[in-house]
């Protein structure tokens, strides 16, 4: 890595009792093309029955006392020595070469997010007849044979049929709302063709910026709460500081 940085990118994956924490960590390593490390923060201890597999670019931290997602993200960034940092929820799949695609379009004043698809993480599958039911709460019995012998079968694929989400807005209570109509505007269609769409706020499940900028913006505000309202905080800090919050439509 040039410019005196130890890594290109640190991906901070913080979660508390997250079922797919290990799967998300493995997915990042499977699709990263740059010199990317993962800093996994297991808030309140390791999640049950989900061992995170060793990797030379992996750091795992357990907090015995839960500290919350904002504090966990700040802790991960403190451990980073990379030029860029990315926060990623612990139940996500990423695109092939996601890190390079985002860094290629990054500017110092950007907070960048990828466009988002719904994740089809698993199906409920019947051991008796093989019938499957889409993810959600466990059914009381199999819809195919009526037996109650079900297990989770990992799918881990995007729902391509639903289409990507790339912009969000706030309502009168400062809560995040999806903004599907935004991408129909002419100026937004031009932005999509250029690879970057400006958005007021985001969901908060994933974002990337320069590590130095993260601290210039004050890190994640732990006084704002422990888990929620990530997207509003990111959007307002980006725009009110003279920067931009942009969705990378290439990944």
The pLDDT of residue 2 is 53
The candidate with the shortest Cα–Cα distance to 96, out of 50, 55, 36, is 36
Q: What percent of the chain has pLDDT over 90?
A: 79
Per residue in 59-115, pLDDT (tens digit) is 999 999 999 999 999 999 999 999 999 999 999 999 999 999 999 999 999 999 999
CA distance 176 to 47: 28
The pLDDT of residue 225 is 79
With residue 234 as reference, give the H or E element that holds it. helix 230-240
Per residue in 152-173, pLDDT (tens digit) is 999 999 999 988 999 999 888 8
Contact 155, 93 (CB under 8 A): no
Which residues contact residue 48 at a Cβ distance below 8 angstroms, ignoring those fewer than 6 apart? 17
CA distance 32 to 13: 14
The pLDDT of residue 4 is 80
**Which residue(s) pair with 82 in the sheet?**
7
Q: What is the mean pLDDT of residues 171-194?
A: 80
Per residue in 123-134, pLDDT (tens digit) is 999 999 999 999
CA distances from 154 to 106, 128, 158, 238 (A): 33, 18, 12, 36
The pLDDT of residue 250 is 94
Q: Is the pLDDT of residue 12 over 60?
A: yes
Mean pLDDT, the chain, rounded, equals 93
More confident position, 188 or 67: 67
Per residue in 212-226, pLDDT (tens digit) is 999 999 999 999 877
CA distance 231 to 169: 10
The pLDDT of residue 176 is 87
Is the pTM above the cut of 0.85? yes
The pLDDT of residue 43 is 95
Q: Is the pLDDT of residue 177 over 60?
A: yes
For 11: left if phi > 0, alpha if psi spans -120 to 50, otherwise beta; the answer is beta
The pLDDT of residue 121 is 96
Q: Which two tokens stand for residue 152?
A: 């989770």
Q: What is the mean pLDDT of residues 16-35?
A: 96
* Domains of the chain by start residue, with CATH: 7-116+164-248 (3.90.550.10), 119-160 (2.20.28)
Going by their DSSP bridges, the two strands 7-15 and 82-89 should be labelled as: parallel
């Amino acid at each position: 890595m040039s410019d005196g940085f130890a890594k290109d990118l640190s991906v901070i994956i913080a979660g508390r009792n997250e079922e797919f924490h290990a799967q998300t960590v493995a997915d990042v390593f499977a699709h990263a093309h740059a010199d990317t490390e993962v800093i996994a923060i297991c808030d309140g201890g390791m999640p049950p029955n989900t061992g995170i597999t060793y990797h030379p670019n992996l750091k795992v931290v357990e907090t015995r006392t839960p500290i919350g997602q904002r504090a966990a993200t700040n802790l991960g960034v403190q451990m980073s020595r990379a030029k860029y940092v990315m926060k990623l929820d612990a139940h996500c799949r990423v695109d092939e070469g996601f890190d390079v695609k985002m860094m290629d379009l990054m500017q110092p004043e950007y907070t960048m997010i990828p466009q988002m698809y719904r994740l089809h993480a698993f199906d409920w599958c019947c051991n008796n007849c093989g019938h499957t039911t889409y993810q959600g709460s466990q059914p009381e019995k199999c819809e195919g044979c009526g037996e109650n012998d079900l297990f989770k079968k990992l799918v881990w694929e995007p729902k391509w049929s639903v289409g990507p989400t790339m912009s969000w807005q706030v309502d009168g209570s400062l809560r995040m709302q999806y903004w599907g109509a935004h991408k129909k505007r002419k100026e937004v269609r031009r932005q999509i063709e250029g690879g970057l769409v400006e958005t007021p706020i985001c969901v908060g499940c994933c974002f990337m910026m320069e590590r130095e900028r993260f601290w210039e913006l004050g890190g994640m505000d732990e006084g704002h709460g422990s888990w929620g309202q990530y997207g509003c905080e990111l959007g307002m800090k980006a725009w009110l500081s003279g920067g931009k919050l942009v969705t990378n439509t290439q990944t």
